[in-house]
Amino acid sequence: AQSVTQLGSHVSVSEGALVLLRCNYSSSVPPYLFWYVQYPNQGLQLLLKYTSAATLVKGINGFEAEFKKSETSFHLTKPSAHMSDAAEYFCAVSRSGGYNKLIFGAGTRLAVHP
């Protein structure tokens, strides 16, 4: 069975600092991995996804994530945080075989302070 663990339900950074949101997955087959962002009172928006092409994936708003099979990780990073990055971030893995049912982590709420 597949699962996703996001370490840290809350992360706080200063504006301009590095953002690092951690995601570890469990999958018996090569996974498809996703990061979504949820702004207050809005639906989820795709930041980026890994579909077995390049291991370093670049997404929107300056975010990127690196797939590391040996560590079963897919951490999300951004070199310099902006106030507008404050939101909740979800890591998800696609169910193996068949269709694209997503299994989500519990989410990490990112706070950015001046």
Residues at the interface with another protein (CB under 8 A): 4, 6, 9, 32, 36, 41-46, 49, 51, 90, 92, 94-107
List the one residue out of 28, 27, 29, 22 whose CA is nearest residue 6. Answer: 22
Q: What is the largest CA-CA distance in the chain?
A: 45
Residue 15 or 88: the one with the smaller Cβ distance to another protein is 88
Query: 15 vs 22, which CB is nearer to another protein?
Result: 22
As measured in angstroms, the least distance from the Cβ of 44 to another protein is 4
Looking at the Cβ atoms of 67 and 90, the one nearer to another protein is 90
Residue with smaller CB distance to another protein, 72 or 96: 96
- Give phi and psi for 43, each to the nearest 5: -80, 180
Question: What DSSP assignment string belongs to 4-46?
Answer: EEEE-SEEEEETTS-EEEEEEEE-SS---EEEEEE-TTS-EEE
- Return phi, psi of residue 46, to 5°: -70, 130
We find the least distance from the C-beta atom of residue 33 to another protein, in angstroms, to be: 10
Smallest gap from Cβ 21 to another protein, in A, equals: 13
